[in-house]
A and B are shown apart, each in its own frame.
Chain A
Amino acid sequence: MYYYIFEQTKKKRVARTYEKIKDQLTDLGITGEIVTPSPARTTEELTAIGLQKGYSTIVGVGSSQHINKIASQLEGQKAVLGVIPLTSSTVSQMIGVSDIKSACEALRFRKLEEIDLVLIEPNKYYLTQAEIHITKPQELYFELGSLVVGRGYFTDLTITHDLNFYLDNTKTQGAGLGNFWGWLWGKKKSSNNFSHFHSRRIKIETVEPLPIIVNGEVVAKTPAVFHLKQKALKLIVARSKLAQGDLT
């Protein structure tokens, strides 16, 4: 029933953590097939194999990057995604767990939540958030759905898994003599360079192509189009988590 994909590691500390996880899964009675990616078999290929074998629950154990690769393969599939994150991250917040033990327990209770994924055209999905960070502000052209077009300057751009679009240019406010005097005379910094939008489709375009990063990995470059895939993935979340799309 359970198909575990442990992220490959050379670190002894992580290997010890994996052993602890395996022990906990045995104690909870939710053991299953355990596989690890290698140069011969990537995470994506292992996920496809798990689906072919008919496993109903594919569990990603490791970093957000690793879990995101599995989530991308499960879009629109019947199989459910389980997650054991090794560190506190967006994924651990998403499923509502604070440590490995609670993540294992969540797998046992199997409380499901349908969550949204974002597709970056042509074929990249993500579960967490896509980001662009630059030091000097650049001009950005964007389209929200088919009704709104806009432009503005930014240093930080974030598009979440439910297509909340955050644009920030507050980094530049921290520099310059004016800010020094403002700080000296006790003037508060303005936070009105922050923008937030929400749409089912977002198109972004910059003057120079910029890398779009998901969990520390470059997945695309601008210009890019983001689509919201609503309730695209069934995710096992903690029992205590207040769910919006609860299935249990």
Chain B
Amino acid sequence: MNKNVSGPGTIVGANVKLTGTLKDGNEIVVHGRVEGEVISDKMVTVAENALVKGPVTAQIISVAGTIRGSVTAADKMEILPTGKIYGSIAAKDISIRSGAIFVGKCTMPDKEEVAGEEEEKEGETKETAEKKEEEAFEVE
């Protein structure tokens, strides 16, 4: 829907219900109800009494309302005391405050894992390059 990086972000008011994919280059704040995917390049805030039914993806995610769906934060993820998440979380940095509800699986890719994955990828690319070279010689 929205890919305006320079403009102000998206705000879903408390009396608004949306269905569909909500996408913004800037911050998205949800006070109301969203049924569908919520994607931001920066931050997603799910305010108290707000409900998101669908996956949420952003750099930073703050939850004081309810999310029913997977949550992927490239950087930080915070569940405030009134926050509820029913779904899996993947984030580098997670903070779950006392009183918050989280039902699901949590994945935290640490730096070593990320570095390991990168090395593996590099190794794979080298191997594939060597294989290609070999195949090229075979053709000749």
Contacts and interface: CB of A to CB of B under 8 A. Distances in A.
Interface of A: 144-145, 147-154, 162, 164, 167-169, 190, 192-199, 244
A193 B13 CA distance: 5
Interface string B1-12: 110101111111
Main secondary structure of the interface of B (DSSP, over half): loop
B19 A167 contact: no
A32 B21 CA distance: 52
Interface in B67-112: none
B117 to A, nearest CB: 32
Given A144-B2, A198-B7, 9 more contacts: A148-B22, A150-B18, A150-B19, A195-B16, A195-B32, A197-B1, A198-B4, A198-B24, A199-B2
B47 interface: yes
A148 B21 contact: yes
Main secondary structure of the interface of A (DSSP, over half): strand
Given A145-B1, A198-B4, A199-B1, A169 B20 contact: no
B115 interface: no
Contacts of B23: 147
A144 B13 contact: no
8 contacts: A145-B1, A148-B36, A149-B19, A150-B19, A152-B13, A152-B32, A167-B16, A198-B4
Interface in B13-54: 13-24, 31-32, 36, 47
Contacts of B4: 198
B1, B6, B9, B31: which has the most chain A beta carbons within 10 Å? B1
A192 B21 contact: no
A194 B13 contact: yes
Contact of B10 (A152, A153, A196): A196
Given A145-B1, A197-B1, A199-B2, A152 B7 contact: no
Given A148-B22, A192-B31, A192-B47, A197 B17 contact: no
Contact of A192 (B2, B14, B17): B14
